[in-house]
Amino acid sequence: MSPSPTHPIVIATRESRLALWQAEHVKALLEARGHSVQLLGMTTKGDQILDKSLSKVGGKGLFVKELEVALEEGRAHIAVHSLKDVPMELPEGFALACVMEREDPRDAFVSPRYENLDALPQGAVVGTSSLRRQVLLQALRPDLKIEPLRGNLDTRLRKLDEGQYDAIVLAAAGLKRLGLEARIRTTFEPNAMLPAAGQGALGIEVRSDRQDLIDALAPLAHQTTWLTVAAERAVSRAMGGSCSMPLAAHGTFTQGVLQLDAAWGDPEDKAPLVRAQASAAVTTLAQAEALGDAIAQRLRAGGARGITPA
């Protein structure tokens, strides 16, 4: 059934404040183009399991499964995701219909007492449940104590303010979208803390047979962002397909040339990070993904393992 004023587009969304902001953002853009839109708020398994790291309970795909079920059953028509939470391989019958213009992809250092990572005392406690952030922090400051930090953005900030951590590391994009930029003490440059594949970008998922919805979403797409994140996600896909791997991948476009940087580390090992870099002229998704595949081969050649630690 095609979207119309009498048959609105229903957006499946998680109910965290950030997820609702993202869904409302897409809703407003679609309504500005004449579509009728409603939201369907949902709680996912990833929102419910807060006492274990994502890498031990199924990865970030736990944040999207229930939304996909709603699409499958027709209760919703599209799902808005933080792209870094979307598995590298979508289930059969689903498609990424749109990637929107990226917000700041960098990581943010947040602390009530310390200005930056260098200012932390030896042995300070830093919160993150991201294996990527863990290995990058270990490379920068091996003396720090990295502790798990789960929950939505507001929950993480509350735990910091309660004194459970000396500092936490969060995506700058989420803080900026919620008007919390003042909480950012400093933003890590990518050469210090390489972002996750797709970080800062929003992706919209649909059933692959819904060409009407794909067409309706086309004006919201940002081609440069889409090509960039396709290359980043190709690195992760080639390394095993999990967005809970200790893997970073970040691309930057300059005059049609995409430079792609990646890093992999072992959370249980103090060995140096494995890094890889390459660039190529990119105008198609196939070219972007080929660049990502090449980077993954270089990481493996350097000793990176394409598995998710248990």
Residue 235 contacts residue 296 (beta carbons within 8 Å): yes
Helix (H) or strand (E) holding 169: strand 167-171
Q: Tell me whether residue 104 is one of the annotated catalytic residues.
A: no
Give, in order, the Cα–Cα distances in Å from 262 to each of 40, 75, 81, 236, 259: 36, 38, 23, 10, 10
CA–CA separation, 262 vs 279, rounded Å? Answer: 12
Nearest to 169 by CA among 204, 137, 142, 192: 137
7 secondary structure, DSSP code: B
The catalytically annotated residue of 47, 85, 166, 261 is 85
Residue 109 contacts residue 169 (beta carbons within 8 Å): yes
Residue 276 CA neighbour count, 13 Å, CB half: 24
Six token digits for residue 53: 């790291």
Residues sharing a CB contact under 8 Å with residue 45, sequence separation 6 or more, in sequence order: 58, 62, 65, 66
Residue 262, helix vs strand vs coil = strand
Q: Please identify which residue in the block is written with the tokens 């003396």.
A: 143
Six token digits for residue 256: 């049609």
The CA-based angle 19-24-30, given to 5 degrees, is 130
**Radius of gyration (Cα) for the chain, nearest Å?**
19
Active site (catalytic) residues = 85
